[in-house]
Structure 1
Amino acid sequence: MADPKLLKADLCVIGGGSGGLSAAAGAAMLGLKVVLFEKHEMGGDCLNYGCVPSKALLSAAKAAHAPREAARYGVNAPPATPDWTGVKAYVRKTIETIAPVDSQERFEGLGCTVIREAARFDSKDTVVSASVRVKARRIIVATGSQAFIPPIPGLADVPYLTNETIFSMPDFPQHLIVLGGGPIGLELAQAFGRLGAQVTVIEMGRALARADAGHAALAVEAIRKEGVTILEGYKAARLSGGPGAITVHAEGPDGETALHGSHLLVALGRRAVLGGLDLEKGGVAFTPAGVTVGDNLRSRSNPRVWALGDAAGREQFTHVAGWHASVFIRRAFFKQGSTAASLPVPAVTYTSPEIAQIGLTEAEARKTFGDAVKTTAFPFHENDRAIAEGKTLGEAKLVLHKGKLVGASIAGDGAGDILQLVSLAMSNGMKLTALTNFISPYPTRAEVVKRAASAYFTPSVFGKPARTLVSLLQRIP
C-alpha cells in the first residue's frame, strides 16, 4: 500500500458539522489553505439526524394535530390520517433542500480540500487518514456528539432507536417508549403522539429539568392532555423482549412497574465523539465530556488544537457550534478577544407550547444572588394576538438582579422567535428600558416581552412619587 499523500495546510478541520463547516468556510474565504475531514454525512448530526429532521417531523405532527383543534375555531374538519411513509419523505425532502449548503461540492468550490475519510492524530501537528497525511498550522476537532447509551441491564439485548435511526425506521410505532424526558425526548414523544402512536416517557427526575420549573410544567401538562404518558421520578431498571415487543421494568415512587411497547427510543443525553482520534498522539488532553479547552476554545495541552461545538464539552446546540466557529475565526485570524462565554446562550425546546430561555432561570438566579433577584412577567392570555389565534397558554418572564437582565424564560406559541428580543438586549448589554423603548407592531406575540419589561417599571412610573410629581408639574402654565 502506498504511503499517504502529504498535504500542508493552514487549517485542518476534523468534522463536517456546524462548527467545523463554519470554521472551514471562514478560513477558506480568507484565502487560507484548508483541509476538511468528514467520515460520514456532510452537515453532521444537525442536518441529518437532529435539528432539521426533528423540526420537519414536528411540523408534520402539527399538521396532523390541527384538525383536532379546528372545532373551537368554528371549523369542521375531518380527522387527519398520517402516513408514515409520506412523513418520512417530507423529512427527507427537508434535509435534501438544505443539504447543498453543507455539501462537499460547495466547500470544494470555496477552495477547501475535502477528504471523506476518518482522520486521527499522528503527532501534535499532523493528522492522517487512509489516503492523506496533513501537516497543519492549526487543527480543529469538531466531531460532534452522539446519543448516550447507558449500561441499563438488558438494553444491549433489545432493539432500540436513537435520533440517528428514528426518522428512518421502517414501521410506525404502535407504542413508543421513550427513555428520557429532556427536550429531545419530549419533542419526539409529542410528535409521535400527534401522529397516532401511544407514547410513554420515563424520566428519573423532573421532565425538562433545565427549564424554568413553572414553564416546564406548562409544557408537560399540555403534552399529557394530548394523551402522552409522562412518568416523572421513574428509572428504567432493566429491559427485556425483542422486536415489536419490548418491556421496560421501571422503578418509581410506587415500586416497580412493567411497561410494554413496540419500540424503544433512548434519549438520555449526548456524549462527545472522540473515539478513534488518537488524541494522545496529538498531545490533546480530554475527558468523556470533550477536549479540555480554555474559554478561548484552545486545547490546554496543545496550543495548535482547538475544539468547537459538542467536542468542546460545553452547551450542545448547533447555534453554539456556529458561535464557536466565530470565536475561532476572530481569535486565530484577527487576534480578537472573543471567548466561548462572551455571549449568553439561548435554548429552545420545540414542544407545543415551546419553551425558550437565555441566561439564568429564576431558580438559578436566586441560588446565585439570593433575595436581590426580581422577576417581571406578562401572560399570553392577555396578548391580543394570542387571544385571536387561540394560543393563550404561556407567559414571558424576565429575571433581573439589581435592575439588570440576567435571564429570561418564555413559554408559549412561537417562544423561540420571541426570545430573540431578549437575546439581542442581553448580548449587547442593553438596559431593561431598551425593551420598552420601541414601537411593537400590533398585534404580535413578541409584544409580551415589551409588556413584561414595562410591568417592571409600573410601580415607579405610576406610583405615588410619580403622581405627586405630575401634580406639581401641572401647576406650571
Structure 2
Amino acid sequence: MRERVCDVAVIGAGSAGLAAYRAAKKAGADCVLIERGPGGTTCARVGCMPSKLLIAAADVAQRAREGEPLGVRIGSVTVDGPAVLARLRRERDRFVGAVLDAADDFPAADRLAGEARFVDARTLAIGGEVHLRFGAAVIATGSSPAVPPPLRGLGDRLLTTDTLFEIPDLPESLAVLGLGAVGVELAQAMARLGVKVTAFDTGDTIAGLSEPDLVRKAVDIFSDAFTLHLGARVEGAERTAAGVRLAWTGADGRAASTEAACILAAAGRPPNLSGLGLDAAGLALDDRGMPDFDHRSLVCRGAPILIAGDANAWRPVLHEASRQGGIAGRNAAALAAGQEPERPGPWPSLAMVFTHPQAAAIGEPYDPDATGRIVGTMDFGDQGRARTERLNQGGICLWAAPDGRLLGGEMLGPGVEHLAQIVSNALCDNLTVQALVDRPVYHPTVEEGLYTALSEIIQKIDYVHGD
C-alpha cells in the first residue's frame, strides 16, 4: 500500500468537489482530488442540462400545436423521438466535455482515481492501493437516484434520471413515480412529445409548491398534460409482455392498476455515503448514516471532515453545491493549517421547476401557522403580457413581515425563472417590499405581475398602520 500525505483530500469531482479543490488550492493547501465514476457533474451529465434539452424540444412541439388560437395554423406536429434524443445526448456530451476539460487542467499529481474509504479520522484508503493521510477532508460524493422497493427487479423497464436520457426512442407510454421538480418536469416534457404519461406521488403537492391556491392551480394545469394521481402509493410492480404493470392505492384508499411501457423513478436522489466508512472516521451519524454538520461552516461533528453539495442533502441544487464547495475547500485548508473555519450566512433558499408554466419557491417557506405575515397575491389569468403570449396561467404569492421586510414566496407562471431571481436578490440585499416597489419596472412585462403582489402587501401594511 503506497503512503501519501496532503493537507486537504476532496472526495468527489462533481460541482461541489471541483469548487472545493479550487478553493483549497487557492488558499495554499496541498490538495488531492479523488475521482470515481464517469465525472462531468450530475448537472451536466444526468440532471439540469439534459432535462432542459428534453424540455426545449417539448416546448417547440407544444407551441406549434397551440398556434391556432392565435390565428396561426401550422398543421400536424410530428415528433421524431430518436432525433430528439440524439440531439439531447450530443449537446449533453458537449456540456460534460467542458467540465472534463476543465478538470484535465488540474495537475496529474493532485488527482487520484478509485473508491475512497475512511480508515480513521485522518486517513483514507483509495482503491486498495493508496493510504492518504490528510489534515482535513471534504466529502462531495453527490447523490444517486432512489429506487423504491416496489420497483426493484423490473430490469430495463425501470428508468431513472441516470438512464432515461440513454434510451434510443421515446416510449409509447410512461409511468412517473414522484412529482417533485424532476418528476413533474420530465412528465410534462414527455407528454408534450406525445408520450402517454401517468404520474403518481404520495403527497398532496406538486412541483415544489406548498401554498394551497398555487397547488390547486398547478394540479389543474398539469392534469391537462398527463394523468395525475396525488396521494397515491405504489404497492407493487411487475413486468408484462408489453412493459410494466403497477398496482397502487389512491388517496381514497381504493386499489387500482396502471400499465405502461416503462416507469421512471423520480422519487429523489439520496446522498452517496455508503461505503465511505464514516463510522471509522469518528463522525456523529444519525440513524440514516448522515453526519451531523454545521450548516454554515459545513464541518462535521467528530473529525476535521466537511461535507458539501448533494452529499449533505441540505440544498441539492447546483448554485448551492458550488458555493458550499468553495466554503468547504477554504475551511478544509484552514483546519489543516490549525485555523478557525469561516461561518458565512446562508443564501436565501431558491428552488425552481422548469415546467410550463414554471414554478419557484424563494426564501422562507410557506407556513399556514406563521403569525404576523402580510401576504400579497396576483393571478396571471388577467396579467397583460401573459395574456398577449397566451401564457396567462398561474399566480404569485409573496409574504412579508409586519415591518415590510420581504420574507419569501412561491410562484407559478410565465417567466418565473426571472421573477424568482428578482425576489432572491431582494432577500440577499435585505430589501423591504417598499424598496423593491420603488425600483423601475418596464411595461408590458410579466414583472408587472410581481409588483402587483408587492403592492398588495404595501396596501395591507398601510391599512394596519392606519395610513
In the superposition, the TM-score normalised over structure 2's length comes to 0.90
Give the Cα separation in 2 of the matches to 1:345 and 1:331. Answer: 22
Task: Give CA-to-partner distance per residue, 1:393-435, whole Å, 9 cap, x none.
Answer: 1222211222322211111112122111110111222222221
- Aligned residue runs from structure 1 range 145-224, under 5 A: 145-152=143-150, 155-157=152-154, 159-208=157-206, 210-211=208-209, 212-224=211-223
Give the Cα separation in 1 of the matches to 2:268 and 2:422. Answer: 29
Provide the residue aligned with 1:109 in structure 2.
105
3-state SS of the aligned residue for 2:158?
coil
3-state SS of the aligned residue for 1:145?
coil
Using the TM superposition, name which of 34-43 and 154-163 deviates more.
Answer: 154-163
Contact 2:22 2:326 in 1 (8 A): no
Distance of aligned partners of 1:397 and 1:429 in 2 relative to their CA distance in 1, 3 Å threshold:
same
Provide the residue aligned with 1:452 in structure 2.
453
Contact 1:34 1:111 in 2 (8 A): no
Distance of aligned partners of 1:209 and 1:419 in 2 relative to their CA distance in 1, 3 Å threshold:
closer
Task: Give CA-to-partner distance per residue, 1:107-160, whole Å, 9 cap, x none.
Answer: 3424472223222222211222234332222211011111222222x6325531
Q: CA deviation at 1:329?
A: 4.5
Give the Cα separation in 2 of the matches to 1:221 and 1:30. Answer: 52
Aligned residues with identical type, % of pairs: 27
Q: CA deviation at 1:276?
A: 1.6
Using the TM superposition, name which of 142-151 and 110-119 deviates more.
Answer: 110-119
Provide the residue aligned with 1:297 in structure 2.
298
Contact 1:15 1:44 in 2 (8 A): no
Task: Give CA-to-partner distance per residue, 1:282-333, whole Å, 9 cap, x none.
Answer: 223334363321222111011x100001221312222221221233255455
3-state SS of the aligned residue for 1:91?
helix
3-state SS of the aligned residue for 1:444?
coil
Q: CA deviation at 1:225?
A: 1.2
Provide the residue aligned with 1:19 in structure 2.
16
| 2:219 partner amino acid | V
Provide the residue aligned with 2:441 in structure 1.
440
Q: CA deviation at 1:183?
A: 1.8
Provide the residue aligned with 2:239 in structure 1.
241
Distance of aligned partners of 1:312 and 1:243 in 2 relative to their CA distance in 1, 3 Å threshold:
farther
3-state SS of the aligned residue for 2:385?
helix
Give the Cα separation in 2 of the matches to 1:194 and 1:377. Answer: 29
Give the Cα separation in 2 of the matches to 1:398 and 1:463. Answer: 18
Q: CA deviation at 1:382?
A: 4.2
**1:356 equivalenced with 2:360 (yes/no):** yes
- Aligned residue runs from structure 1 range 48-127, under 5 A: 48-103=45-100, 105-111=101-107, 113-127=110-124
Give the Cα separation in 1 of the matches to 2:464 and 2:359. Answer: 33
3-state SS of the aligned residue for 2:187?
helix
Contact 1:178 1:266 in 2 (8 A): yes
3-state SS of the aligned residue for 1:98?
helix
Stretches of structure 1 that go unaligned for 5 or more consecutive residues are: 467-477
3-state SS of the aligned residue for 1:146?
coil
Provide the residue aligned with 2:337 in structure 1.
none
3-state SS of the aligned residue for 1:272?
coil
Contact 1:330 1:338 in 2 (8 A): no
Q: CA deviation at 1:175?
A: 1.3
Pick from 346, 349, 354 the counterpart of residue 350 of structure 2. Answer: 346
Contact 2:380 2:395 in 1 (8 A): yes
Using the TM superposition, name which of 293-302 and 114-123 deviates more.
Answer: 114-123
Provide the residue aligned with 2:319 in structure 1.
319
Contact 2:395 2:411 in 1 (8 A): yes
Give the Cα separation in 1 of the matches to 2:106 and 2:444. Answer: 44
Give the Cα separation in 2 of the matches to 1:464 and 1:136. Answer: 59
Give the Cα separation in 2 of the matches to 1:170 and 1:416. Answer: 31
Give the Cα separation in 2 of the matches to 1:195 and 1:331. Answer: 46
| 1:106 partner amino acid | A
Contact 2:85 2:168 in 1 (8 A): no
Task: Give CA-to-partner distance per residue, 1:59-83, whole Å, 9 cap, x none.
Answer: 1111121111111222111232222
**1:8 equivalenced with 2:12 (yes/no):** no
3-state SS of the aligned residue for 2:359?
strand
Give the Cα separation in 1 of the matches to 2:67 and 2:276. Answer: 53
Give the Cα separation in 1 of the matches to 2:89 and 2:82. Answer: 11
Contact 2:358 2:414 in 1 (8 A): yes
Distance of aligned partners of 1:463 and 1:209 in 2 relative to their CA distance in 1, 3 Å threshold:
closer
Contact 1:11 1:138 in 2 (8 A): yes
Higher RCO by CA contacts (8 Å cutoff, separation 6 or greater): 2
Q: CA deviation at 1:243?
A: 6.2
Provide the residue aligned with 1:429 in structure 2.
430
In the superposition, the TM-score normalised over structure 1's length comes to 0.88
| 1:196 partner amino acid | G
Give the Cα separation in 2 of the matches to 1:300 and 1:401. Answer: 34
| 2:362 partner amino acid | I
